[in-house]
Chains A and B, each alone.
Chain A
Amino acid sequence: MTDAAETANVHSKKRVPIKEGFLTTPLSDLREAKLQGSRCASCGEVFLGIQHGCQSCGATGMETVVLSNRGKLYSYTVLRNRPPGNYMGPDPFVPFAVGLIELPEGIRVISPLTHCNLDSLHVNMDVELALDRLYEDEEGSEVIAFSFRPE
């Protein structure tokens, strides 16, 4: 992934999120965009992205919430082999860390950890959201993926 600050200054290309509903809009300034989720109006459980029903209690009343861009590293690992299928990361493959990030809204999100030293990661460390261009799609739009980085 390229550096967030660098891609933030490129406005000429259309930007789309890696999955519709995962990020706030607009994406013109990636330092301002955040992860987006849904909160169940009945039980309060929070999910990533747009949800039409609650996986916890089954209620259908869901409200959109903006998720904090700071969290704690609940746990993590390092992927030492190229992930299978149509992985869009660097080629040749570079090992990278994946974490389970606990956010104050009461959700833990699985996310790549970027801009970090693989040997300095530890459980409970403070991390913050980083949005970067992952690849360019068939229409020439920049596809924006999320990751977290040590604060």
Chain B
Amino acid sequence: MREVVIAGVGLHPCGRFGDKPYVDMGREAVAAALKDAGIAWSEVQAAYCARMYLPATSGARILKTLGMTGIPIADVEAACASGAVALSQAYMAIASGFYDVVLAFGVEKMPRGFMDPSAIYEDWQIRMGLAVNPMYWAIAAKRHMADYGATALQMAKVSVKNHKNARTNPYAMYRREVSVEEVLSSRMVCDPITLLMVCAPNEGAAAAIVCSAEFARKHSARPVQVAACVPRTSLYPWFRAPAAYVSARPNPPSVTTRAAREAYEMAGIGPQDLDLVELQDTDACSEIIASEELGLCPVGEGGRLVDEGISEIGGRLPINPSGGLLSNGEPIGASHLRQIAETVWQLRGEAGERQVEGARVGLCHVVGAGGNAAVTILKR
């Protein structure tokens, strides 16, 4: 297997952009990544486009605006892990020696508020009022509180931290600091989760130029190594949308834990070697639970990471220095590749005021509908 690197990344900001076509958003992110990599579009040999709520052949519709070069272009979808599946396809194509340069990109344009429930839920769930994504996060949070003593205050602190980190992120949707009081007193969505503890489905685009280390040496001055890229689906049971029931027997390791263990093994590192983490904070308690599942702390102690300042920029292990999903929103197809772009900048020392000093190893994590999750580890 050959060493795989990311030669360049590009983002279109996250937010809501009215009538701006997704084709323009995608093209801007791809063009920025090509420029960053110093690679011409004509050198790209294949492309994978991650998207969930856009029409068929979105990838081809976007890339034709750069010139129709005849390469294979495929759209991929794995809910919140869509971008990781696009990256994984590029990774495998290059590691195997089949291609030297592959584009992995993601784009999304989603309506405001709740997502269309019929995309993932059955009709009876919608009629009974059970087709509500934050419901799953809230039920998981409530049980975590009962089992381990996680508190709404800790969840509020996660939201405060991530909003603070996003202040200087020009690509974030929300760049305003919030206070603990503001988070706790914002509108209740699903107890104990308040409005300022949940992420917004929104719009955005992200791209990465993935190539062999050998090819990169000739073109790019600042390649970042893809040490592992592991998309997985859950074993039974899976308590996230659109589950209607789960087993009450002792559960096998979660899909996040399984993906992380494989990624650590593949990269030859452990959680103690990480300098920063971008993880799926769809809601504030998900950051606490995912921290535990990724092995960043013992089970039940995720709240301590924020209580003790460990997960702050400047702490021992900064979590979501970009502001996470809470500040960037979740443009689903683009979400993992947005994390990748942030981490590449961090490892190159180009993250400006939110720079994690001396960062050498970063982990990106997504998890979502259908039991999909992924962990990618980047190294310089």
Query: A135 CA to B124 CA in the complex, in Å?
Result: 12
- Chain A interface, number of residues (Cβ within 8 angstroms): 42
Q: Assess whether A79 is in contact with B135, with CB atoms less than 8 Å apart.
A: yes
B interface residues, tally (CB under 8 Å) = 43
Taking CB atoms and an 8 Å cut-off, the chain A residues in 1-46 that contact chain B are: 18-19, 22, 45-46
Q: A77-B191, A78-B191, A79-B132 are in contact. Are A106 and B142 (CB under 8 A)?
A: no
Q: In this assembly, does B66 line the interface, its C-beta being within 8 Å of a C-beta of chain A?
A: no
Q: Are B187 and A80 in contact (CB under 8 A)?
A: yes
A87 neighbours in B (Cβ, 8 Å): 126-129, 131
A66 within 8 A of B: no
Chain B hits for A100, CB < 8 A: 139, 143, 239, 246
User: Which residues on the A side are within 8 Å of B146 (C-beta)?
Assistant: 75, 123-124
Q: In the complex, how many angstroms separate the beta carbon of B141 from the nearest chain A beta carbon?
A: 8
Q: Which of B123, B192, B245 contacts A109 (CB 8 A)?
A: B245
Q: Is the interface of A mostly helix, strand, loop or mixed?
A: strand
Against A, the Cβ 8 Å flags (1 = close, 0 = not) of B136-176 are 00111111001000000000000000000000000000000
| A85–B248 touching, CB < 8 Å | no
Chain A residues with CB below 8 A from B130, complex form: 83, 98, 110, 112
Complex: how many Å from CA A77 to CA B217?
53
Q: Are A85 and B122 in contact (CB under 8 A)?
A: no
Per-residue CB proximity of A78-94 to B under 8 Å, as 1/0? Answer: 11110111111100000
B114 within 8 A of partner (CB): yes
Q: How far is the CA of A109 from the CA of B239 in the complex (A)?
A: 11
Residue A102, interface by CB 8 Å: yes
Complex: A7 Cα to B40 Cα, angstroms = 70
Contact between chains at B248 and A103 (CB < 8 Å): yes
Among residues of A, the one whose C-beta sits closest to the C-beta of B118 is A85
**In the bound complex, do residue B126 and residue A85 qualify as a contact, i.e. CB atoms below 8 Å apart?**
yes
Q: Nearest Cβ distance between residue B48 and chain A, in whole angstroms?
A: 29
Contact A85 B131, beta carbon cutoff 8 Å: yes
Q: Which residue of A lies closest to B194 (CB)?
A: A80
Contact of A110 (CB < 8 Å), options: B190, B192, B245, B247: B245
Contact between chains at B248 and A79 (CB < 8 Å): no
Query: Is the C-beta of B236 less than 8 angstroms from some C-beta in chain A?
Result: yes
Is A56 an interface residue, CB under 8 A from the partner? yes
Which B180-210 residues have a C-beta within 8 angstroms of A? 187-193
- Assess whether A83 is in contact with B190, with CB atoms less than 8 Å apart: no
Taking a contact as CB atoms closer than 8 A, the residue among A76, A84, A124 that contacts B131 in the complex is A84
Bound CA–CA A47/B244 (angstroms): 10
Instruction: Choose from B127, B143, B189, B192 the contact partner of A18 (Cβ within 8 Å).
Output: B127
**Residue B243 interfacial (CB < 8 Å):** yes
A83–B132 touching, CB < 8 Å: yes
B370 contacts the other chain (Cβ, under 8 Å)?
Answer: no
User: Any chain A CB within 8 A of the CB of B218?
Assistant: no
Residues in chain A near residue B116, CB distance under 8 A: 84-85
A146 CB to closest chain B CB (Å) equals 8
Closest to A37 in B: B245
- A83 and B131 form a contact (CB under 8 A): yes
> Chain A residues with Cβ under 8 A from B271's Cβ?
none
Alpha-carbon distance A18/B124, docked complex (angstroms): 6
Measured between beta carbons, the chain B residues less than 8 angstroms from A75 are: 139-140, 142-143, 146
Kindly provide the distance from the CB of B150 to the nearest chain A CB, expressed in whole angstroms. Answer: 12
Alpha-carbon distance A46/B190, docked complex (angstroms)? 28
Q: Quick one: closest B residue to A19, CB to CB?
A: B124
Enumerate chain B residues within 8 angstroms of A112, measured Cβ to Cβ: 128-130
Which A residues lie within 8 Å of B189 (CB)? 80-81
A127 at the interface (CB under 8 A from B): no
Tell me how far the C-beta of A101 lies from the nearest C-beta in chain B, rounded to whole angstroms.
9
Is A117 on the interface with B (CB-CB < 8 A)?
no
Question: Within the assembled complex, what's the spacing in Å between the Cα atoms of A78 and B135?
Answer: 8
Complex: how many Å from CA A112 to CA B129?
8
> Do the beta carbons of B248 and A48 come within 8 Å of each other?
no
The complex places the Cα of A12 from the Cα of B345 at a distance, in Å, of 69
Indicate whether B117 reaches chain A with its CB closer than 8 angstroms. Answer: yes
B132 in contact with A106 (CB, 8 Å) = no
Q: Shortest distance in angstroms between B254's beta carbon and chain A's nearest beta carbon?
A: 15
Is residue A62 within 8 Å, beta carbon to beta carbon, of the partner chain? no
Complex interface bits, B227-249 against A, C-beta within 8 A gives 1, otherwise 0:
00000000111010001111111
A-B contact pairs, 13 of them (CB 8 A): A55-B237, A56-B247, A75-B143, A76-B139, A79-B132, A80-B191, A83-B114, A83-B132, A84-B132, A85-B117, A86-B127, A99-B139, A100-B246
New A-B pairs, 4, CB < 8 Å, besides A45-B249, A78-B188 = A48-B244, A48-B245, A76-B139, A83-B129
Q: Which residues of A contact B (CB under 8 A)?
A: 18-19, 22, 45-48, 55-56, 74-81, 83-89, 96, 98-100, 102-103, 106-110, 112, 123-124, 134-135, 143, 145
